[in-house]
Amino acid sequence: MRIPSIALLASTLLVAGNARALTQPQAEAVAKKYLASLPAEGASYDATKTLTADLDGDGKVEIVLLSTLMGPTYAYSQLMVFADRGKGYVHASTTDISGNVEDMTVDKGIVQIKSKMPGPNDPRCCPSLEKIYRYTLKNGKVIELK
């Protein structure tokens, strides 16, 4: 799926070139506007959880979005990050998340996603193996930490 490169300008967040504190409603508005711009081709995007944190240690807060793409017979989760590039927040990076995602947290620049994967004898409905994914932002890209 092609993800468009669009600028999500949040001019209300800029004061003389420096970003003010980003509020939760402002972060959610940026995320929802971006999701609405994506081609869904019969599916729909849901902003499952939106958080803010400085992921790359540059002193600027990033928007961290856990989204779900829901189609007629499928659903999958993605981690998206939006960065302040000086003129507002823009989409910086996306990565797919495997399994049945249950929660996302951010602590000290690390995004942690709790997911469940199917075990050897699990029915399709009920994965039982807990998996924790850890990500950060490096050189403008979301990378998984091992």
- Tell me the two tokens of residue 36: 């609405």
- pLDDT given at position 20: 54
- Residue 18 confidence (pLDDT): 37
Rounded mean pLDDT for each run of 10 residues along the chain, 146 residues in total:
40 36 93 93 93 94 96 92 92 95 96 96 92 95 94
Q: Which residue has the tokens 């690390």?
A: 110
Q: pTM of whole model > 0.85?
A: no
Q: Residue 121: what pLDDT?
A: 93
Q: What is the pLDDT of residue 85?
A: 85
The residue type found at 70 is M
Using alpha carbons, select from 33, 63, 54, 58 the residue that is nearest to residue 45.
Answer: 33
Locus of tokens 């990378």: 143
Q: Can you give the pLDDT at residue 125?
A: 87
